[in-house]
Amino acid sequence: MTTNQDLYETARDLMPGGVNSPVRAFGSVGGVPVSMVGGEGAYLTDAEGQQYVDLVGSWGPALLGHKHPAVIEAVHRAVDTGLGFGTSHPAEAKLAQLVRQRVPGAQMIRMVSTGTEATMTAIRLARGATGKNIVVKFAGCYHGHSDGLLAAAGSGVATLGLPGSAGVTAAQASETIVIEYNDRSALEQVFAEHGENIAAVITEATPANMGVVPPQEGFNAFIREITTRHGALMIFDEVMTGFRITEAGYWGASGRVEGWEPDIFTFGKVIGGGLPTAALAGRREIMEHLAPTGPVYHAGTLSGNPVAMAAGIATLENADAAVYQHIDEKSQVVADALSAALTDAGVDHTLQKVGSLFSVAFGTSQTGVHNYAEAQAQESFRYGPFFHSMLEQGVYLPPSVFEAWFLSAAHDDAAIGRILEALPAAAHAAAQAQPA
Ligand SMILES: *Cc1c(COP(=O)(O)O)cnc(C)c1O
């Protein structure tokens, strides 16, 4: 049998860190990364034949669970007609239509291949449409790895403890102003000083790449209001939350209720149903600044790829109200059990939760976690032992305390039961953990 260890050693010789995306290397939790070879429903199977209840869900796309029959069938059908033609294809408008039915503010859509490409293009579009150059982002919000968005970027950057990234020039970074999340006065001050030059404020719909950090009441509406007042655009990054928090993303739980829309949405993860598709979308007069109708260039060999469109269409068509209700209910059960197990083991923590997305922050009950500074100040050393205890008991968690836990429609009572059974021992391991 090939072991995870063998595979890791081979991979480390061929690829930096043995991985193609840093968090997979288990850097912050230690140990040998697990190589998965199959997934079905709520479960993953590794190269050694071990089965795990999966709480990563491919980092979000697996909303319906792995290998959902309707998605697999749609992909098979698409594959049988050819893998892609580099031309227009009927499935592109079909997916765009499904998105707009859920999110009416997504009047026009451009399909891209990754969330990174979606936000990068959204920034270029905002600059092109406004003729301004500064972008404001929040510390700890992750918007993919394009140069200007890597300042204080949360996610893998936070996991590795890096301030940003080497290879990003001061000139690129200088056009991004970073302020703390949930800080209205910082936002007011930035607009007071630079208002004329600000092209856009980009925000995660609800941050979930520094652990989950809920927006304070009215914070997104405040971003909407201040950007409108200064002629800047609001870019609402729903790459993680889109079609996951509600059928209309986090906007469905906030903007729709409060009566506002961002100028540009970005989507990824669920929209591709597990294949590489993402999108930017927004008001017609803004989106028409994109080539070929406008002067802001964007193109993609694989944009709107028919096989990826098929996976996205089948996923959205099957993500009905029952799916969201199920995920909401089950995530509440797991989050409550997680918090209870930690409390029983005497581990100080806050349970951070927005809709069905949640994470835990250790040693933060005094302050709570409202921003990146508070997220980083937590006792993150407790997560490695917690993670490995869960792993040994057959539960695959995100290998970083700064990532959200993802449930799916396939997490039935049996899968949830296995998670609940594993929590007390893991909480005990977290209680015993010592700082490095
Ligand atoms: C995952 C993520 C991205 C980047 O998407 P990729 O497909 O990994 O490039 C951007 N924004 C948010 C909020 C994300 O969670």
- The pLDDT tens digits for 158-194 are 665 555 678 888 777 788 999 999 999 999 999 999 9
The amino acid occupying position 387 is: F
Tokens representing 14?
A: 């061929």
Ligand 1 pocket residues where CB is under 6 Å: 114-116, 119, 142-144, 204, 209, 237, 239-240, 268, 278
Instruction: Specify the 3-state DSSP secondary structure of 194.
Output: helix
Residue 341 burial by CB count (10 A; 0-12/13-18/19+): exposed, middle or buried? buried
**Which mutation among 210, 212, 269 tests ligand 1's pocket best, with the greatest number of atoms within 8 A of CB?**
269
State mean pLDDT over 206-228. Answer: 98
State mean pLDDT over 285-303. Answer: 97
**Which mutation among 239, 271, 277, 354 tests ligand 1's pocket best, with the greatest number of atoms within 8 A of CB?**
239
Of 138-152, 192-206, 217-231, where does mean pLDDT reach its minimum? 138-152
- Rounded distance from Cα 285 to ligand 1 centre (Å): 25
Residue 94 burial by CB count (10 A; 0-12/13-18/19+): exposed, middle or buried? middle
State mean pLDDT over 382-401. Answer: 98
Sequence-distant (≥ 6) Cβ neighbours of residue 5 within 8 angstroms:
32
- Rounded distance from Cα 145 to ligand 1 centre (Å): 8
Question: Which pLDDT does position 169 carry in this prediction?
Answer: 80
> Would you say residue 436 has pLDDT above 90?
no
Question: Which pLDDT does position 309 carry in this prediction?
Answer: 98
Tokens representing 199?
A: 């092209």
Q: Which atom of ligand 1 is nearest to the CA of 155?
A: 15
State mean pLDDT over 322-341. Answer: 98
- The pLDDT tens digits for 103-160 are 999 999 999 999 999 999 999 999 999 999 999 999 999 999 998 888 776 666 666 5
> Would you say residue 101 has pLDDT above 70?
yes
Q: Which atom of ligand 1 is nearest to the CA of 115?
A: 5
Distances (CA, A) of 55 to 66, 138, 144, 350, 377: 11, 26, 21, 19, 25
Q: What is the distance between the alpha carbons of residues 213 and 371, in angstroms, rounded to a whole number? A: 7
Q: Which atom of ligand 1 is nearest to the CA of 116?
A: 9
DSSP-derived pairing of the beta strands 134-138 and 176-179: parallel
What are 53's strand-pairing partners?
43, 395
> Would you say residue 97 has pLDDT above 80?
yes
State mean pLDDT over 256-274. Answer: 98
What are the catalytic residues?
142, 237, 269
Q: Look-up: residue for tokens 């695959």?
A: 396
Q: Name the residue with the closest Cα to ligand 1, atom 10.
A: 143
**Which mutation among 116, 117, 206 tests ligand 1's pocket best, with the greatest number of atoms within 8 A of CB?**
116
Of 40-54, 168-182, 348-362, where does mean pLDDT reach its minimum? 168-182
State mean pLDDT over 387-410. Answer: 98
Q: What angle do CA 99, 60, 48 make, to 5 degrees?
A: 145
- The total of other beta-carbon atoms located within 10 Å of residue 109's CB is 23
Q: Name the residue with the closest Cα to ligand 1, atom 11.
A: 143
Share of the chain above pLDDT 70, in %: 97
- Rounded distance from Cα 267 to ligand 1 centre (Å): 8
Question: Which pLDDT does position 252 carry in this prediction?
Answer: 97
- The total of other beta-carbon atoms located within 10 Å of residue 256's CB is 17
Share of the chain above pLDDT 90, in %: 93
- Rounded distance from Cα 142 to ligand 1 centre (Å): 7
- The pLDDT tens digits for 415-435 are 999 999 999 999 999 999 999
- Rounded distance from Cα 130 to ligand 1 centre (Å): 24
Q: What is the distance between the alpha carbons of residues 432 and 99, in angstroms, rounded to a whole number? A: 47
- Rounded distance from Cα 233 to ligand 1 centre (Å): 20
Question: Which pLDDT does position 284 carry in this prediction?
Answer: 98
- Reported as half-sphere exposure (CB side, CA atoms, 13 A), residue 4 has a value of 16
Q: Distance from first CA to last CA of the chain, Å, rounded?
A: 34
